[in-house]
Amino acid sequence: GAVVSQHPSWVICKSGTSVKIECRSLDFQATTMFWYRQFPKQSLMLMATSNEGSKATYEQGVEKDKFLINHASLTLSTLTVTSAHPEDSSFYICSARDVGLAGDNEQFFGPGTRLTVL
């Protein structure tokens, strides 16, 4: 149980284009999902908290107009990197909390999406 998938697993795009990454909870419902970015040999940096049916909460320094987050259902959140540039190249990982485990802080992670912007 508690499986989170991400699609695509990797993507290469040209500078200036937009890329959408999907995060799905496969066997549980998630009112809250999280989006992280991880640069090589660095820690996971939280970008935003995605709440089903409401606006995402962005961490300080993360441009909400560049990183669009949509959490339209209890099993799907999407991250769109708009007008991507080479410095946006990174490993993007999502995680989700199980709504059935109220009060539990445990997060279940997706396999990550490696974005390369040329």
Partner 1 sequence: GENVEQHPSTLSVQEGDSAVIKCTYSDSASNYFPWYKQELGKRPQLIIDIRSNVGEKKDQRIAVTLNKTAKHFSLHITETQPEDSAVYFCAAPPPGFQKLVFGTGTRLLVSP
Kindly state the smallest distance separating residue 2's Cβ from partner 1, in Å: 10
Strand order in the sheet with 76-81: 4-7, 19-25, 76-81, 67-73
Does 44 contact partner 1 by CB under 8 A?
yes
CA distance 111 to 118: 23
User: According to CB under 8 A, which one of 11, 20, 22, 32 is a site residue for partner 1?
Assistant: 32
Task: Tell me if 109 sits within 8 A of 23, measured CB to CB.
Answer: no
CA distance from start to end of the chain: 37
Does 110 contact partner 1 by CB under 8 A?
yes
User: According to CB under 8 A, which one of 8, 12, 106, 116 is a site residue for partner 1?
Assistant: 106
Residues that bind partner 1 (CB under 8 A): 32, 34, 42-46, 49, 91, 93, 97, 105-107, 109-112, 114
